[in-house]
Amino acid sequence: MTRVYNFSAGPAMLPEAVLEQARDEMLDWQGTGMSVMEMSHRGKAFMSIAEQAEADLRELMGIPDSYRVLFLQGGASTQFAMVPLNLTAGGATVDYINTGAWSKKAIAEAKRFCNVNIAGSSEAQNFTTVPAQDSLQLSTDAAYVHYTPNETIGGVEFPYVPDTGEVPLVADMSSTILSRPVEVERFGVIYAGAQKNIGPAGLTLVIVRDDLIGKARGGTPTMLDYKVHADNGSMYNTPPTYAWYLAGLVFQWLKRNGGLAAMAEVNRRKAEKLYAAIDGSDFYSNPVDPACRSWMNVPFVLANPGLDASFLQEAEARGLTTLKGHRSVGGMRASIYNAMPEAGVDALIEFMADFERRHG
């Protein structure tokens, strides 16, 4: 069997060591005689897995005791509704910063429940940059400010954390969580789908400050109330147990590899060398403002789009897969999350140079 370098934006690569451990524990987890996916979520064995995973995540991210960590279902898309349902009353105003496809989806959902003020937008620049902090038009009475630190599709990333004063800051960190250290205290809510840097699809992490829990508006469905999940240890219903277990293995892998500071150095290096290869060529280009380029998702286009199909076919033959760009952007996109080894980025750069020599 030959493993490929999978540049998918999600579901994405998982660390090979994690997959090997899961394989070894598949039929018998630590002498229990059963697989984790067969365990009762309320049994002693799984409870120990869940508690360890949360403890490791808290250590990795430096999550204060004043925040709750929820392991939920529904993806980040469900959080587009859960955030306004839990943080606002009817008629409230909320601020959103629009920097791309996922921001727009969050905005559209929030408009079902709140008065949405677009505090900043880079749509006029075709989402190739982000609004500067001093250009944000924040409301005086906003219940919260929402932004997407990294837009997976456009490959645009905030180089700063917005300063919102006393107003809770909400972040969809699906593409950047665990890729570098973050000051959790600067946020009211952090949420992230798992299928990029955390684990397999089916799990969603929510980190929410205590004072923002218990304020869901009347009529909020039980499963969309943060307090219900917080009070029940994320086990009001049967959680995605196997995805939770695999996320815990990823957290342990991160700790063994030096934590988020060490991961940040590797991720910075991977991104810098790939952007350098693109910028050093007349054959490839990246449209994003260099100050706002994502570490995690690197889109690029070929000077001759007629070569796109050949590029993808030849890359696949080299074991470099899932490089086709999103349909709304075109070209290519290399997602280089934590589990993408530096050797994978090196292999992509080598192939790009070879393809340019032969087709440029």
How far out from the chain centre does Cα 242 lie? 19
Give the DSSP per-residue string, 291-348: GGB-SSEEEEEESSGGGHHHHHHHHHHTTEE--BPPTTT-SEEEE--TTS-HHHHHHH
Q: Which two tokens stand for residue 188?
A: 């009211």
What count of residues does the chain have?
Answer: 360
Going by C-alpha positions, the residue among 154, 142, 27, 179 that lies closest to residue 103 is 154
How far out from the chain centre does Cα 132 lie? 22
Q: At what angle do helices 44-61 and 241-256 cross, to 10 degrees?
A: 40
- Active-site position among 29, 102, 244, 295: 102
Going by C-alpha positions, the residue among 144, 142, 140 that lies closest to residue 86 is 144
SS3 string, 275-295, reads HHHHHCCCCEECCCCHHHECC
- What is the DSSP-derived secondary structure letter of residue 152? T
Buried b (16+ CB within 10 A) or exposed e, 257-281: eebbeebbebbeebbeebbebbeeb
Phi, psi of 68 (to 5 degrees): -100, 145
Q: For residue 102, indicate whether it is catalytic.
A: yes
Q: For residue 172, indicate whether it is catalytic.
A: yes
Q: Are 288 and 127 in contact (CB under 8 A)?
A: no
- Active-site position among 196, 244, 253, 324: 196
Q: Are 110 and 118 in contact (CB under 8 A)?
A: no
Q: Which residues pair with 191 in a beta bridge?
A: 172, 206
Catalytically annotated residues:
102, 172, 196
